[in-house]
Amino acid sequence: MSESVGGTDRVSVAKAEYGRLRAGHLSAVSAALEDHVARLDWPRERIERYRDQRLRALLAYARERSPFHAARTRGLDPSSATVADLVRLPVMTKQEAQEEWDAIVTVPGLDREKAEHTLAGQAWFSYTPEGQQIFSSGGSTGVRGVYAWDWELFVTLACLAWRMQAREERRGPPLRHPARLAVLEAGVPPHASTPLFDVPSAAGMETVVIPASAPFDEVLAAVAAARPTHLVGYATVIGRLARAALAGMLEIHPVRVSTNSEPLFEEDQRAIREAWHVPVHNLWGSTEIGVQAVGCGRGVGLHVCEDEVVLERVDEAGTSVAPDEPAARTLATGLANRTFPFIRYDLGDEITPLPGRCECGSSFARLADIAGRRDDDFRYPACTIPASVFRHVLGTDPRVSEYQVRQTRAGAEILVVGAPDAAALTSSVTAELRRHGLPEPEVRIRPVDRLPRHEATGKLRRFIALR
Ligand SMILES: [Zn+2]
């Protein structure tokens, strides 16, 4: 390659190439959205019948094509299995999902090495020759994860992420034109957030991606210039925009707001309602499963995507517990993911079922808003930083194998196992903290050989807040 082909050219070529295939992908999403909106009116029996059939399809496929799942689903007949039979299968951990990647993936010719190669070599988001997208994220445990979303999976997940909003757009008065969605997500690879949320939920809607990691002044200016009718983005970023609007620093008039990727804190939810008096659709998802539950914008809490995801609340031994009993963990089975099946996958979040039927009319079960683990949040005089902010940076650096974040008075000290570029990592973390409202963050990266674990439990505390 000649010197004249600089980084910018390489990125614009990659963007154009990605955009051409993505345009087709978005058309597939629009087509499938019709079916997904209609499903929201299904009665319970229909949801359950459909879910069992989808589960049988997944189990049969995984057993034939994934050596990992073949061994674990032995003894279960996929042709007659129901959701109630899942309890007979072992729990799948994040560690296993990443360490046994090549035995889990069902596509010949795709393995962890190729996925890493794609991540390292792409100048922008991209599709593999088989139509998969490769993403990376640092989940709740802090272990870096690499994920493959096939063409059909993306179509399903985008429908799950947007069908609630699409239903409401159809029920409500005609949209003002031009309808414009401002997308406040990572804005860059390897996070799945931008492809998943940069999706119009109504015909004729334009979208504008505004990278949420830019300095907040720039984000504010870009949002003001976009004059959005709709907003979607990280919960804390949307909350901060709402506070800016309340303070008279942002003059926009959105009619609908969607939040994701972070717990929706009470203070952010309140600010959004006070600033704009609009329905809020909060989403609970993960890069592994995609979308687990979405708020309908009418009733409280989130509706579980029961047609595409099975959630189980279990005790320490993996046995189901009753809705009114406390659970140790939440397991998820993603019914739409054939390329990399997750069956009884430990999500690490805690969920609380909500009883009764929702005022929106849907029979899909509901959960209380996901609180996240507030113990993990760092509270500073100026702001609260959710742990996801650190995971967002540290969990996707391939040269960081493990880390521990310790809150300091004005920032954080980060112990890192691996061989990261300390200067680059320091500036990325600093930028993220600043964008969340921490003035003059002090960040120190300390390379270590290993991290101290709890003497009794052997568990690692990933985040240590100042008390
Ligand atoms: Zn509802």
Structure tokens at 258: 């969607």
Task: Note whether 310 and 83 are within 8 A (CB).
Answer: yes
Residue 26 alpha carbon to ligand 1 centre in Å = 26
Residue 244 alpha carbon to ligand 1 centre in Å = 29
Residue 415 alpha carbon to ligand 1 centre in Å = 43
Q: How do residues 316-375 score in pLDDT, each as one tens digit?
A: 888 899 888 888 889 999 999 999 999 999 987 889 999 999 999 999 999 998 865 556
Q: Is the pLDDT of residue 139 over 70?
A: no
Residue 416 alpha carbon to ligand 1 centre in Å = 43
Q: Is the pLDDT of residue 28 over 60?
A: yes
Residue 137 alpha carbon to ligand 1 centre in Å = 30
* Choice between 318 and 148, residue whose per-residue pLDDT is larger: 148
* Topology classification of domain 374-464: GMP Synthetase; Chain A, domain 3 (3.30.300)
Residue 300 alpha carbon to ligand 1 centre in Å = 7
Domain range list for the chain = 1-372, 374-464
Burial 84-102 (b: 16+ CB within 10 A, else e): ebbeebebbebebbbeebe
Residue 130 alpha carbon to ligand 1 centre in Å = 37
Give 4's pLDDT tier (boundaries 50, 70, 90).
very low
Residue 167 alpha carbon to ligand 1 centre in Å = 11
Q: How do residues 212-261 score in pLDDT, each as one tens digit?
A: 878 888 999 999 999 999 999 998 889 889 989 998 999 999 999 999 98
**Whole-angstrom Cα distance, residue 78 to residue 74?**
10
179 residue type, one letter: A
Give 137's pLDDT tier (boundaries 50, 70, 90).
confident
Residue 452 alpha carbon to ligand 1 centre in Å = 45
Instruction: Compute the half-sphere exposure of residue 46: CA atoms within 13 Å on the CB side of its CA.
Output: 9
Give 1's pLDDT tier (boundaries 50, 70, 90).
very low
- Average pLDDT score over the chain: 91
Residue 329 alpha carbon to ligand 1 centre in Å = 25
**Whole-angstrom Cα distance, residue 89 to residue 287?**
22
* pLDDT (average), residues 270-282: 95
Structure tokens at 323: 């809705």
Task: Note whether 341 and 58 are within 8 A (CB).
Answer: yes
Residue 264 alpha carbon to ligand 1 centre in Å = 17
Residue 159 alpha carbon to ligand 1 centre in Å = 16
**Whole-angstrom Cα distance, residue 241 to residue 276?**
11
CATH code of the domain occupying 1-372: 3.40.50.12780
**Whole-angstrom Cα distance, residue 305 to residue 322?**
19
Instruction: Compute the half-sphere exposure of residue 35: CA atoms within 13 Å on the CB side of its CA.
Output: 10
Residue 362 alpha carbon to ligand 1 centre in Å = 6
**Whole-angstrom Cα distance, residue 266 to residue 263?**
9
Give 127's pLDDT tier (boundaries 50, 70, 90).
very high
Residue 433 alpha carbon to ligand 1 centre in Å = 34
Burial 47-72 (b: 16+ CB within 10 A, else e): bbebbbebbbebbebbbebbebbeeb
- pLDDT for the residue 454: 59
Residue 303 alpha carbon to ligand 1 centre in Å = 7
Residue 298 alpha carbon to ligand 1 centre in Å = 6
Residue 44 alpha carbon to ligand 1 centre in Å = 14
Residue 283 alpha carbon to ligand 1 centre in Å = 13
Q: Is the pLDDT of residue 434 over 60?
A: yes
β-strand pairing of 463-464 with 400-408: parallel
Residue 308 alpha carbon to ligand 1 centre in Å = 17
Residue 406 alpha carbon to ligand 1 centre in Å = 39
Instruction: Compute the half-sphere exposure of residue 227: CA atoms within 13 Å on the CB side of its CA.
Output: 4
- pLDDT for the residue 287: 93
Task: Note whether 230 and 241 are within 8 A (CB).
Answer: no
Residue 165 alpha carbon to ligand 1 centre in Å = 11
Q: Is the pLDDT of residue 459 over 60?
A: no
